[in-house]
Chains A and B, each alone.
Chain A
Amino acid sequence: MIKFLKRFYAVLILLFLYLPMITLVVLSFNSSKSRAKWGGFSFIWYRNLFHDSEIMKVLLTTLLVAFVSAVVACFIGTIAAIGMNKMKPFTRSALMGVTNIPMLNADIVTGISLMLLFLILKDKFGFRFGIVSILLSHITFNIPYVILSVMPRIKKMNPSNYEAALDLGATPVYAFFKVILPDIWPGVLSGFLMAFTMSLDDFIITYFTKGSGVDTLSTKIYAMVKKGVNPEMYALSTLIFVSVLILLILINTLPSGGKSKKAEK
């Protein structure tokens, strides 16, 4: 009986969490444009989706931003974590404190602080809002995730390996690629996947830093909400959901993956 109650409760919470997802998947097959009426099963929104150049462009922007920002964040974050490991404890914890700011601060404050920076750059140096400002912001909030997922790997690493490589005549750069990088690679990879998803899912920071004319999926959806969301978005999100599912299975099967997952805000 208690076992049944436990199961029942878990299923109830699960239903609560998955109900909107089910709704979206069902609506993506609804031939009627209305959210309230079922017009019959159809693939029309999936077909239209691939002919909708506007949504395709937004999707491309979103994926491009996510990919580039994750790659750059991985590069900067990984080498930063390696360097931080050799710092004096005080400097290191000061830098870690700064690293925590974007993770703990409210997204809205991070968003407007970056927006203020870009507005000043626009005034003083003619900086233009657009894909570059989105990228800079995404890299900024992605680096901490990379650092946090690479750090445990570096701490576990044996420092003598690197020194031995140097003693045996390797240049520091050569030793970095041959000794350090292979050791911490799983951490880098899970940092990359995390950064990629964070970027894909972000709305608030993008909203404040995008300027007009450029949209990511999130900001596009937000703009649509008042007039009613185009059902092609349901189709797209169903497809994305399936891809993310596959992606997550990959993360979870990688060694050490999923360990350092700090949930997004």
Chain B
Amino acid sequence: MKSNKFIKLLSAPYIVWAVGFIIIPLIMVFYYGLSNRDKQFTFEYVLSIAKPEHFKSLYLALLLALVSTIVCILLAYPLALILSGLKSKNEHLVVFIFILPMWMNFLLRTYAWMTLLENNGVINSILNFLHLPNIQIINTPAAIVFGMVYNFLPFMILPLYNSINKIDKNVLNAARDLGANYFQTLFRVIIPLSVPGIISGITMVFVPSLTTFVVSEMLGGGKILLIGNVIEQEFTQNSNWYQGSGLSIVLMLFIIISMVITNIYDKDGEGNTL
């Protein structure tokens, strides 16, 4: 049993690290979020979410994150179905192709979308050339949703693909044998069995969409403030750590809520590891 003691000691550096760089920093967010400049305990900054300008940014962030999550599901589900129908030989390669974009700097990719979507950008030039009406999407909430869908779509594709692929083919054959048509099989068998994938896809798209400040800054033209932008500005421009931390606590509440929902549906945590 002496050997076990030695082995357990191997975790010690990480435990020290986790306390120092994960737990203490989080405690500090709570400390600053729940106190004011005079070091008094207060809920003032957390409750300041009710102020119209903060509430509006939270509401908009929730709304845009919700819309982009729904769009992601609608786009990714048919694709995951198509991918899972492929012969197993190419399957690695195909999934690989859909993950690959995630490895190019996402700021540059979003910047490329700015170039493409601008009012006199590439897409509008092509539309002009074809004598079609122009799109004016840049600097609107729609452009932000577009950017979110673009950036986070792979996070939806992968868990969906994994969970659909895991479904026993015999179950599908049984459904067919028992007389279900394609859509009945889809809605009664495939979709219910892929719920863990849907749920983990939702958290993986919803949380980063809800908390981003980069996409909204770049495609929203800096005029549309989401809760992430407000927090970022409190820290970098106003240097008001108390206000920024207070709003971060609110943000974490929403993340915890979405994690709780994930855990209810995804008990074995399969969907989380891609």
Interface residues, chain A, CB within 8 Å of chain B?
Answer: 6, 9-10, 13-14, 16-21, 23-24, 27, 35-36, 76-77, 79-80, 82-87, 95, 98-99, 101-102, 104-110, 112-117, 119-120, 136-137, 139-140, 143, 147-148, 162-163, 166, 172, 197, 201, 203-204, 208, 217-218, 221-222, 225, 229, 233-234, 237, 240-241, 244-245, 248, 252, 258, 260-265
Contact = CB atoms under 8 A, between A and B. Distances in A.
A113 B28 contact: yes
B28 A120 contact: yes
Nearest to B116: A23
A240 B106 CA distance: 13
Q: Which A-B residue pairs are the 3 nearest by beta carbons?
A: A83-B11, A80-B14, A20-B112
Interface in B136-166: 150, 153-155, 158
Contact of B4 (A24, A86, A95, A113): A86
A106 B103 contact: no
A139 B13 CA distance: 13
Given A99-B18, A104-B259, A263 B154 contact: yes
Interface of B: 3-4, 6-15, 17-18, 21-26, 28-29, 32, 75, 78-79, 82-83, 85, 92, 96-113, 115-116, 118, 120-122, 125, 150, 153-155, 158, 203-204, 207-208, 210-214, 218, 228, 231-232, 235, 241, 244-245, 248, 251-252, 255, 259, 272-274
15 contacts: A14-B98, A20-B110, A21-B112, A35-B121, A79-B13, A83-B12, A109-B252, A112-B244, A112-B248, A143-B18, A172-B6, A201-B105, A201-B106, A203-B214, A221-B107
B7 A248 contact: no
Contacts of A107: 208, 211
Contacts of A264: 102
Contacts of B78: 9
Given A21-B109, A203-B107, A221-B105, 11 more contacts: A21-B112, A24-B108, A24-B112, A104-B255, A105-B255, A106-B211, A197-B103, A233-B108, A248-B96, A263-B155, A263-B274
A241 B212 CA distance: 24
A23 B115 contact: yes
- Grouping DSSP codes into helix (H, G, I), strand (E, B) and loop, the A interface class, with mixed when no group exceeds half, is helix
A237 B29 contact: no
B111 A221 contact: yes
A231 to B, nearest CB: 11
B113 A36 contact: no
B111 A76 contact: no
A65 B224 CA distance: 33
A248 B100 contact: yes
A241 B259 CA distance: 33
Contact of A222 (B99, B107, B158, B203): B107
Given A20-B116, A252-B96, A260 B17 contact: no
A187 to B, nearest CB: 13
B9 A83 contact: yes
Contact of B21 (A24, A79, A117, A234): A117
Contacts of A261: 99, 273-274
Contacts of B273: 148, 260-262
